[in-house]
Amino acid sequence: MPDTAHLTDEEVDEFTRACNRLYSLMHRNRSSLAAAATGADQLSESQLVLLTPLAEEGSMGVGKLATRARVAQPTATRALKQLEGKGFVSRERVSGDDRTVLVTLTHRGLTAWHAADDRMRTLQRSALDQIPPERRATVIDALTELARAIDRTS
């Protein structure tokens, strides 16, 4: 564990405010994108989080999916039942292993995921465009480093 004694309270407070503001804005944007999209094939923020690993990596077991989506397995199981009912995923037991349920994104689910992902990328592109081109790599590097630091400490 790194020595944090050299950090001042003011630095930690400023860091905390910046992180909280960023988290709040990102959460608001994801929620408003989901709310603005209407129709039977629209995905909520939590559904998008769960379907993203399937869209990016393909079919997988519920446990692995829960880990990839960073949710508890019972939470994933409940959400997947709803998603299956809407035709976004299919679930089937793995032959020879009754404990493992394989989850697959359906064509309808993939189409809905792409639509939600396209809306999010448009918003992200707009935000990135607000940063001067010469500072973009620095911002991306800092965010990547921050994500690694948070992952290491959680």
Burial of 54 (C-beta count, 10 Å sphere; 0-12/13-18/19+)? buried
pLDDT at 146: 92
Q: How sure is the predictor about 125, in pLDDT bands with cuts at 50, 70 and 90?
A: very high
Q: Tens of pLDDT along 44-101?
A: 888 889 999 999 999 999 999 999 999 999 999 999 999 999 999 999 987 776 778 8
Pull the structure tokens for residue 62: 């519920």
For the whole model, what pTM was predicted?
0.74
Alpha-carbon distances, residue 4 vs 8, 12, 60, 79, 112 (angstroms): 9, 10, 40, 39, 44
In three-state secondary structure terms, 121 is helix
Residue 3: is its pLDDT beyond 70? no
pLDDT at 100: 81
Residue scoring higher pLDDT (2 or 27)? 27
Closest CA to 41 of 107, 102, 91, 92: 107
Residue scoring higher pLDDT (42 or 83)? 83
